Amino acid sequence: MMSPTATAAFLSAAPASSSSTHRRRSRLPVISASFASSSSSEEPLLVRAARGEDGLPRPPAWMMRQAGRYMAAYQALAKRHPSFRERSETTDLIVEITLQPWRAFAPDGVILFSDILTPLPAIGVPFDISDSKGPVIQTPVRSEEQVRELTPIDLEKLRFVGESLKILRSEIDGKAALLGFVGAPWTIATYVVEGGMTNTYTNIKSMCHTAPNVLRGLLSHLADAISDYIIYQVNSGAQCIQIFDSWGGQLPPHVWEQWSKPYIKQIVNKIKIECPQVPLVLYINGNGGLLERMTDTGVDVIGLDWTVDMADGRRRLGNGISVQGNVDPAYLFSPSPVLTDEIHRVVKSAGPKGHILNLGHGVLVKTPEEAVAHFFDVTRSLRYDTLFQDELGFLSHLHSAMSWTT
């Protein structure tokens, strides 16, 4: 439990700010009036927690891979529509799959059912999904000529994403936050360079030394495309965006600093100009060695995986940035009281402000739906004023004493 002094420091900390230089004008329209930001008190709990607002009653919660294979409803739909590309690129199916966990568990965040590789064909990189191999890119991009042949992102080819977000925003009707997401340039580049999944990353890692200019050109192009894709998602109704640098944790910290971080910052700088009201979350799997280096990317929230102790993560990041996570997904296979205790531990370690409860990774296949329901039921029962009664009482007394002396 946090000491009164630590809690006082936590609650008085100001959110981190970022500055940026606008490189080029967006080709996209401004956010439509129907999705303009409302007053803070009317916004979803998750958005307010992402911004680090004071006075929230409890942490909001959602789960990575919230919609998917662990749900019987999804399995039944997948039998009727066996192609993942069809499920993730057809508006009606995207909406139905996205809403399945929302209807079943009522999380505080509803994340679009999609894939980080979905925008690739819109920049001239076709791909397939193999049941045995996962994503397959027949012609990996490894030369300067191939990079020059990449196109600016064609958002018309992603119309199903925009249509789905608009429908979902209407369906959710303010009862939860609608999240969009993208892959970070380095992570997307690993697929584009390697031609699919890899356990070694030898091609892209060697390019850092053998063809650095080619790799910089690819990463810069991806950063531009991903920035425009985020703005498109926001214009279509997304209220918060998560950036997945899934394979950033495979890099030594100093290499991540050189080859991933600058392109994440390039994205964040543009979004903070074009969509300053939309919080950005950065999640890196295996980020224990990167936490301090992640803080100045300019994002609003840093996701912790389950290998980082939440209290240690909060200490290392400071209180000027919000955190997300980080229950081990395996706890969802534990008895309910054990899961309850772990949720309480994580929330108390994160502190009474600027925390979005989540797993430290995606929901595992065969996770019991009853455990997911219990996770959200427990979260809804939490109250900061109960969990942090002693600390918040001390603060109230301290503030009263300070007012009396002044």
In the prediction, which pLDDT does 1 show? 37
Contact 271, 229 (CB under 8 A): no
What domains sit in the chain, N to C, each tagged with a CATH number? 51-388 (3.20.20.210)
d(CA 216, CA 260): 10
Burial grade of 394 (CB within 10 A; 0-12, 13-18, 19 or more): middle
- DSSP H or E segment with residue 134: strand 134-136
The residue count of the chain comes to 406
Residue pair 149/124 in contact (Cβ under 8 Å)? The answer is: yes
Residues 6 or more apart whose Cβ sits within 8 Å of residue 277: 37
Among 86, 101, 84, 35, smallest CA distance to 363 is for 101
Q: Are 60 and 108 in contact (CB under 8 A)?
A: yes
pLDDT at 403: 55
Whether 192 and 133 have beta carbons less than 8 Å apart is answered as no
Residue 53 burial (10 A CB sphere; 0-12, 13-18, 19+): middle
Rounded Cα gap, residues 85 and 258, in angstroms: 33
Instruction: Give the C-alpha separation, 66 to 63, whole Å.
Output: 5
Reading the block at residue 154, the tokens are: 């064609």
pLDDT number for residue 130: 83
Residue pair 218/226 in contact by the 8 Å Cβ criterion: no
Buried-state track 95-133, b at ≥16 Cβ within 10 A, e below 16:
bbbbbbbbebbebbbbbbbbbbbbbbebbbbebeeeeee
Give how far Cα 63 sits from Cα of 112, 348, 356, 400, 406, Å: 12, 19, 10, 39, 46
Type of residue numbered 370: E
pLDDT at position 188 is 98
Distance from the Cα of residue 82 to its chain's centroid = 27
pTM attached to this predicted model: 0.88
Across the chain, which has 406 residues, the per-10-residue mean pLDDT values are: 37 34 36 44 92 97 96 98 96 98 98 98 95 90 98 98 98 97 98 95 97 98 98 98 96 97 98 98 96 96 97 95 98 98 98 97 97 98 92 54 53
